[in-house]
Chain A
């Protein structure tokens, strides 16, 4: 331990060292240290693209399916003479973006000035450093031993979206290609949760856009956890996500500790790569927040990644993004970017215990008052971690659950355009047409996409009545029945190792063989009720909000239903044009103030 005397001796030396350091960096600054720049180009005159050669067959099929042109000017290559000129003048070219007709490079101020004078250059913009943070938290250490609660959570994280319904219908994401942008996929290629995935060579391509090399099984395990929420399995074959038979493109776009603005470029490069290689869905469990932006800039038009995500949607890819984990951060609280993008499906987190918004999940709306998050899924899940399986928290994991859901829905209705799918996913959610800025439209439901399950009109469950200056919401007697919940013999008896024989038949962890195809086992199984009998019932809450004439919410609330007279609202709380909207047990009713 340093004594005060030691400190007195050390302090001047430290100060001197600091001063020398500053002086040397100041001297270097005068010489012009290299900095990162975007060189925005004027045109693509004279360039051509043979879409059939540039785009992979799945990418061409995706565009054809959605009635998009085979290619447009954003797909054309950047003019090679422009790139050559820039390379000749700069230290390093880090990215050439067709979509933005721009070149990212490192250059000294003098070189940047020379770049500005080039004939094809529209602008040269400085790129400052900023963090891109994985939207997840790890509450508990990983553990190879799975408890009954873990197995139940694994069932419920897919069951809450209607996973078993998709399975019985043979919808497992087959034929869909999903790109995952993340920090790294450590041990994903060796983990027992992905044995089948790798054995069937369904990880089609990998690329590390940070270090520009193919190995993505480095850098961090966040991507491994995210991948497991799409295609991971427990040793007994229980799926952890909804798309265990999809194909995957794994992209590393982020550094784990040293986080730079270059990651936004990497995201863009990965999106272009995913487009070219036929991705149908991009899952991005990442988000930029305070270091680079203000909450009021979360409008989908400011950040590079939000604009890149919008372009990806225009190319026919569904972009699913985690809403963010800043819900309990008073200085930010709202969604990050690119979740703010208008066409980006922002996924919030749901508490598996209460089926309510989990506190850390970022709230909407976007800065321009659009609905965000769009939908929710479990924000606490069982995921494959490098050292086994682990319960992890974060909207990072809600996002891949939803991406898997989207893959199944698209598999069912392959002719949908990306925005039709986007709308349908929102419409399938359990609160729709009701929404709020914590839950969006709620949790999407698989049954909505089954052809023979056209939903019947939901019976009215309550009435809104006006008496003088009070609006009263009264639950109808027929909707006031609370369903009994039958206890299972064992909490995890639905699919877990309920018997000693079944437990004994499970291979040891680390020695698992690929389990039979889930769709085969699911189809072979006798039809049962939707969902697992052991899953606790979804609590029925009453949701209500007040929206203004632009349908922007003024306030919203969720109430526990413990009596039929559930809500009294003084009319003075409604301004002219406002709408009171109430949702209970799938039935939504509105009252508009004149």
Chain B
């Protein structure tokens, strides 16, 4: 017992009277297991995940009439968005996207053209930048760890047209090489858009197809414009 008396007394004294500096020690490694092994709820195949994505799609399908014929291949939509995904089970997830979308419809310059008028130009397009939101149901297949994996999405979207532009370009005139004109705030454009679609993806890549159910032009406008093509087929790249 005797040898223990001194350390015990010294320990007691230190406990009460030692200044903080005496107690300061250099900690070389410190781990709190409870904190370190907390099950993460955020991740590609966790309860919640979100990530940015970029999409480029081509306008496709027939126009509602010859007056709304487009230049396919150039008419396209670019999207930049944030995807939020909630996992329900290993194969099932729900999601909600918010995004900026900029569809551009390059109008074919033909004799039948009526959108938005019959005047022909060297180049002409309608741009309808939008704020959109999209809900989707995701069915994944194949076992996987914390990865996106392969999946099929059924989706429905809606958007609000932030601004509308009718842009056209003509040849040399009045000493200028070309004349570009932009008309903004188009009264004949519908401000609300919506549609449905599907997405087939693997990891960061996806093929997406959307069908616009809404009309581009207001129903009451005169003259009554034929509908622009409703399909959009494109590719998506996600930042995971």
A15, B31: Cβ atoms under 8 Å?
Answer: no
B34, A463: Cβ atoms under 8 Å?
Answer: no
B14, A294: Cβ atoms under 8 Å?
Answer: no
Please tell me if B26 contacts chain A, counting CB pairs below 8 Å: yes
| Given A128-B142, A565-B22: A291 touches B147 (CB 8 Å cut-off) | yes
A363, B8: Cβ atoms under 8 Å?
Answer: no
Please tell me if A73 contacts chain B, counting CB pairs below 8 Å: no
| Given A15-B58, A568-B23: A470 touches B15 (CB 8 Å cut-off) | yes
Could you say which of B35-43, B167-175, B176-184 contacts chain A?
A: B35-43
Closest residue on chain A to residue B72 by CB atoms: A12
B33, A556: Cβ atoms under 8 Å?
Answer: yes
User: How far is A210 from B11 in the complex, measured between Cα atoms in Å?
Assistant: 63
User: How far is A555 from B34 in the complex, measured between Cα atoms in Å?
Assistant: 8
Please tell me if A144 contacts chain B, counting CB pairs below 8 Å: no
Please tell me if A81 contacts chain B, counting CB pairs below 8 Å: no
Please tell me if A474 contacts chain B, counting CB pairs below 8 Å: yes
| Number of A residues, CB within 8 Å of B | 58
Q: Contact flags (1/0) for A566-579 with B, using CB distance below 8 Å? A: 11100000000000
A560, B26: Cβ atoms under 8 Å?
Answer: yes
Residues of B within 8 A of A130 (CB): 144-145
Could you say which of A16-24, A52-60, A385-393 contacts chain B?
A: A16-24
Task: Give residues of chain B (202-225) contacting chain A, Cβ–Cβ below 8 Å.
Answer: 207
Please tell me if A26 contacts chain B, counting CB pairs below 8 Å: yes
A474, B10: Cβ atoms under 8 Å?
Answer: yes
Residues of B within 8 A of A474 (CB): 7, 10-11, 14
| Given A15-B234, A467-B15, A568-B15: A292 touches B145 (CB 8 Å cut-off) | yes
Residues of B within 8 A of A363 (CB): 31, 36
B32, A19: Cβ atoms under 8 Å?
Answer: no
CB distance from B237 to the nearest CB of A (A): 11
A438, B31: Cβ atoms under 8 Å?
Answer: yes
Residues of A within 8 A of B22 (CB): 563, 565
Contact for B11 among A289, A365, A465, CB less than 8 A: A465
Closest residue on chain A to residue B150 by CB atoms: A128
User: How far is A190 from B235 in the complex, measured between Cα atoms in Å?
Assistant: 50
B12, A562: Cβ atoms under 8 Å?
Answer: no
Closest residue on chain B to residue A559 by CB atoms: B25
B11, A294: Cβ atoms under 8 Å?
Answer: no
Residues of A within 8 A of B40 (CB): 295, 331
A553, B11: Cβ atoms under 8 Å?
Answer: no
Residues of B within 8 A of A553 (CB): 33
CB distance from B231 to the nearest CB of A (A): 11
Task: Give residues of chain A (166-198) contacting chain B, Cβ–Cβ below 8 Å.
Answer: none
Task: Give residues of chain A (545-592) contacting chain B, Cβ–Cβ below 8 Å.
Answer: 552-560, 562-563, 565-568
| Given A293-B145, A554-B34, A565-B23: A16 touches B4 (CB 8 Å cut-off) | no
Task: With a 10 A CB-CB cut-off, give which of B31, B32, B43, B233 has the most chain A CB atoms.
Answer: B31
Please tell me if A357 contacts chain B, counting CB pairs below 8 Å: yes
B30, A555: Cβ atoms under 8 Å?
Answer: yes
A565, B18: Cβ atoms under 8 Å?
Answer: yes
B146, A290: Cβ atoms under 8 Å?
Answer: yes
Closest residue on chain B to residue A293 by CB atoms: B145
Contact for B14 among A11, A13, A365, A565, CB less than 8 A: A565
Please tell me if A448 contacts chain B, counting CB pairs below 8 Å: no
Residues of A within 8 A of B57 (CB): 15
Please tell me if B119 contacts chain A, counting CB pairs below 8 Å: no
| Given A290-B145, A472-B14, A474-B7: A557 touches B29 (CB 8 Å cut-off) | yes
Closest residue on chain A to residue B25 by CB atoms: A559
User: How far is A568 from B18 in the complex, measured between Cα atoms in Å?
Assistant: 11
Task: Give residues of chain B (223-240) contacting chain A, Cβ–Cβ below 8 Å.
Answer: 233-235
Q: Contact flags (1/0) for B128-164 with A, using CB distance below 8 Å? A: 0000000000000011111100000000000000000
B8, A463: Cβ atoms under 8 Å?
Answer: yes
Residues of A within 8 A of B30 (CB): 555-558
Interface of B is mostly: mixed
| Given A128-B144, A565-B22: A476 touches B58 (CB 8 Å cut-off) | no
User: How far is A289 from B142 in the complex, measured between Cα atoms in Å?
Assistant: 17
Task: Give residues of chain A (455-482) contacting chain B, Cβ–Cβ below 8 Å.
Answer: 463, 465, 467-468, 470, 472, 474, 476
B39, A12: Cβ atoms under 8 Å?
Answer: no
A567, B25: Cβ atoms under 8 Å?
Answer: yes
Contact for B31 among A289, A556, A568, CB less than 8 A: A556
Residues of B within 8 A of A40 (CB): none
Please tell me if B76 contacts chain A, counting CB pairs below 8 Å: yes
B27, A558: Cβ atoms under 8 Å?
Answer: yes
A562, B26: Cβ atoms under 8 Å?
Answer: yes
A15, B233: Cβ atoms under 8 Å?
Answer: yes
| Given A12-B76, A467-B15, A565-B14: A555 touches B37 (CB 8 Å cut-off) | no
Please tell me if B200 contacts chain A, counting CB pairs below 8 Å: yes
Q: Contact flags (1/0) for A350-383 with B, using CB distance below 8 Å? A: 0000101100000101000000000000000000
A560, B37: Cβ atoms under 8 Å?
Answer: no
B residues in contact (CB < 8 Å) with A: 4, 7-8, 10-12, 14-16, 18, 22-23, 25-34, 36-37, 39-40, 43, 45, 56-58, 73-74, 76, 142-147, 200, 207, 233-235
Known A-B contacts: A128-B142, A292-B144, A558-B28. Give 15 more (CB < 8 A): A12-B73, A13-B73, A15-B57, A15-B58, A15-B233, A18-B207, A291-B147, A331-B146, A365-B37, A474-B11, A556-B33, A558-B29, A560-B27, A560-B28, A566-B25
Can you pick out 16 interface pairs between chain A and chain B where the beta carbons lie within 8 Å of each other?
A12-B76, A15-B235, A16-B73, A19-B233, A22-B200, A292-B144, A294-B145, A356-B28, A463-B4, A465-B8, A468-B15, A555-B33, A556-B30, A556-B33, A568-B14, A568-B15
User: Can you list the 5 inter-chain pairs with the closest CB atoms, starting with the nearest?
Assistant: A472-B11, A558-B29, A465-B11, A560-B26, A22-B207
A residues in contact (CB < 8 Å) with B: 8, 11-16, 18-19, 22, 26, 126, 128, 130, 289-297, 331, 333-334, 354, 356-357, 363, 365, 436-438, 463, 465, 467-468, 470, 472, 474, 476, 541, 552-560, 562-563, 565-568
